[in-house]
Structure 1
Amino acid sequence: MEQEYKNILVPVDGSDSAEKALRRAVESAKANHAHLDILNVIDTRQFSVSFSGMMDGGGSIVYQTFEDTEAYMNELKDSIVKDGFTDVDIHIRFGSPKTVIAKDFIEDHHSDLIIMGQSGLKAVERMLMGAVTNYVTRIAPCDVLVVK
């Protein structure tokens, strides 16, 4: 018996691996007549460690990161809608990527499939994303497809 998925989550970070996962997620959502959630998690730990003494009172670095992420996410959604798939939403969350993906977002949106890339953008991010992917495959309460 084939599994039908109704709520598909694809976390993205701008990497080639994540964009491959996004393409696979769109295909799966179309095939299953499912809703697609595209998620980017802004890792708040990077701000507390890297920029602790550099932020002005308005948190301009955090704000700029959010603005850049929002523009990127809107571009992804616009491209998908232009290609004829409209049952898609974008989400930006702050926190630990592995926890937000594997637990928090799933609880809020009842995803039944996560499709994600194997690794992130740069060497350090590849290592971290590998850790995120490993964590999500072990902890998430739903099926997880890792795209290589």
Structure 2
Amino acid sequence: MTTKYENILIAVDGSEEAKKGFEKAIDIAKRNEAALHIVHIVDNGYFASVEALAHASIPDYNEQQGKKLLAEYEQAAKEAGALSVHTVMETGSPKSLIPNRIANQVQADLIVCGATGIHGMERLFLGSVSEHITRTAKCDVLIVRNNEENK
């Protein structure tokens, strides 16, 4: 039995892992003639203590960078031949927004994300966004590893 995906959500954050996931998501979207929903979450949780000192300049900068990142990914997806490309940017926790609210909003039947970029103690304390998405999403999830992790 072959599964045909209609709405593919790809989470991007500017990392190499996310870029690999993005490339795979484009291929899957083209094969399935599916809509591609490129999602970026501005996660200001890590900057909470610094934000008070910066008087909201960090959230503004992160939002500008997020818009720029999404525009670049959207253009790349269209140039690669994706038929239907949409972008979503929100502020909050990617661990909860992606598998719950955003996946539901775009009616995702597949979430693609890059393998975590954090290792060791960081993963112990922060947890992996991709790991959390895998555990909580109601649809299929594809975690794309980069070449270094496959060795």
Task: Please classify the TM superposition score into its range, dividing by the shorter chain length.
Answer: 0.7 to 0.9
Contact persistence 2:26–2:36 (CA under 8 A) = yes
Normalised to the residue count of structure 2, the TM-score between the two structures is 0.86
Give 1:107 deviation, angstroms. Answer: 1.8
What's the C-alpha RMSD, in Å, of the aligned pairs? 2.2
CA distance in 2, matches of 1:129, 1:72: 24
1:98 counterpart SS class: helix
Distance in 2 of aligned mates of 1:41 and 1:117: 14
TM-score (norm 1): 0.88
The reply on whether 1:98 has 2:95 as its aligned counterpart is yes
Q: In the alignment, is residue 66 of structure 1 matched against residue 56 of structure 2?
A: no
Query: 2:104 is matched with which residue?
Result: 107
How many equivalent residue pairs?
Answer: 145
- For structure 2, which runs of at least 5 residues remain unmatched after alignment? 146-151
Q: Partner residue of 2:137?
A: 140
Q: Secondary structure at the match of 1:52?
A: helix
Q: Is 1:51 aligned to residue 51 of structure 2?
A: yes
Give identity over the alignment, percent: 32
The answer on 1:16 being equivalent to 2:16 is yes
1:39–1:101 Cα change, 3 Å: same
Q: 1:11 to 1:127 in 2, by over 3 A?
A: farther
Q: Which residue of 2 aligns with 1:2?
A: 2
User: Which runs of no fewer than 5 residues in structure 1 stay unpaired?
Assistant: none
Residue of structure 1 in register with 2:149 after alignment: none
Q: Does 1:82 align with 2:66?
A: no
